[in-house]
Structure 1
Amino acid sequence: MARRCLDAFKGRTVCHVGEWGGMTGDATFEKQLTESFQLVKVVPLPNWTNTCYALTVWQRRGSGTADPGAPPAVVCCSGCGGPVPLDGGVRSRLCHRLAYCSQTCVDSHADDRDAAMAAQLLPSVLHRRQHFTPLLAGSL
């Protein structure tokens, strides 16, 4: 349904509230949004430990309102703090606030990831590679 709304939308600005790579829209919607619009602002929202909601503001490409500079990151890496590539990063299925840009960051963040899992009363043994899902079509 999100993609159909985007197809019908003729305006310049889209505000998306929810989880990127979560249950707010699907990968097709997110791909179309990133191809047709440029991210201009990310506003973190209150979250439970297993969610990662944010308000993202997007401007239609070619509308003259998008900033030609580097856009902010939709998702930041839990390991290094840098942007998670939307075509190659991963997010935890069990703790959505955990996302990574590379296998190096997944590996280096193990202790902090275990603490985040413990905060959700989940044993760290559950947080293995099969519990990560790719953002869009990419994977590690």
Structure 2
Amino acid sequence: MSRRISICAVMFVGAVLLSVTTQGRAQQQDPTKRPAEVIKEDADNTKVNRRESSRGEATADKQREKPADRMVSQRIRRAVTRNPELSSYARNVKIVTQDGTVTLKGPVRSEKERNAIEAIAVQMAGKDRVTNEIQIAPEKN
């Protein structure tokens, strides 16, 4: 019986080690994934979120549950987060779709990022259906 337990224990440890090794290799091969310690930005928009919700503006919690609205927001979010040239701030802009109209909000680091996100949204939703309220907030020194 103890020999059977020992064999099971060895097999379990081997499986765990194989799993950890495989995960490490997958992360090394994907250049778009960066380790947490490399990201130095703090993309905390808590103050802005409170201000916007108190004024009754379009916020993420007002996202419509219509499948078409959700799909548009998801497609835009996916394209934004996969763009390696955008900062953490830019990847975290608010994307709210209501009745087919997309509202973009939040801070980004540059006009280039603002324009890139707007271009993605226009491509997904159409030119007349995007309201760009993104603000440029340069890094604090």
TM-score normalised to structure 1 length: 0.26
**Higher gyration radius (CA):** 2
Larger RCO: Structure 1 or Structure 2 (Cα < 8 Å, ≥ 6 residues apart)? 1
